[in-house]
Structure 1
Amino acid sequence: MSGLTLTKVHHVAIIASDYHVSKVFYTKILGFTLMGEVYREARDSWKGDLALNGAYTLELFSFPFPPARPSHPEACGLRHLAFSVTDLDAAIAHLTAHQVSCEPVRTDPLTGKLFTFFSDPDGLPLELYQA
């Protein structure tokens, strides 16, 4: 087969305003595994490679004074990052126990599945979607 053949999303890159706060959020609260990290002195920047269930998924970056940008789900650009869960109620209870607020649960009108939104430490909209 010729031409462009995408096989999957390789990773998502996130720039955090406070690398260490976001690293704790993604590893300790959301359950990602830190596969490795490096401080890049020339860029005054941290880069962490995070895995979900053994699969390389996120790159977490820091940069000095990154510009703010709108990140509400309806802003132009990345709308949100969604994660599948098997038990939405348990996932919401876990986040709530870690002082992470979730929006009211909604039902996807096309699939009948339940979902909710919450935010990372920088306000990046994240979604939990019950599989």
Structure 2
Amino acid sequence: METICGLAHFGLYVSDMEVSKKFYTDILGFQFAFETNQEGGPHLCFLRNGNCEIELIARSGAELSDGHFDHLCLRVTDIEAAVAHLAAHGIPTEFPIREMPQVYQGIKMVMFRGPDGEHLEFNEFC
């Protein structure tokens, strides 16, 4: 598929946001990018180190039973073409393409599942 142009980020479930932020910034050298914790929405924190970006996603211990990996996000140059490519292969998306201004201005994203049920995301960052 020609529209994939790189890994955008990976999402990681964390049980304690402050402990995880401290570990990734103080120990691994990531820099704080931004954080959002809107009423009724998930508590997210994005950290960057060079071209690598981590999305920390707050979850309780009980919710971590499925593992710590949430999703793999692939950056695409044309999200509409990427979704059409999925559809041509019989792969549904979990929801229509949406914009996420609370995360980044100009970003479009969509989620879908891989063959083993793994959670995948395409995003186009204009």
Query: What TM-score comes out, normalization by structure 2 length?
Result: 0.46
Q: Larger RCO: Structure 1 or Structure 2 (Cα < 8 Å, ≥ 6 residues apart)?
A: 2
The structure whose Rg is larger is: 1
Structure number with the higher strand fraction is 2
TM-score for the superposition, normalised by structure 1: 0.45
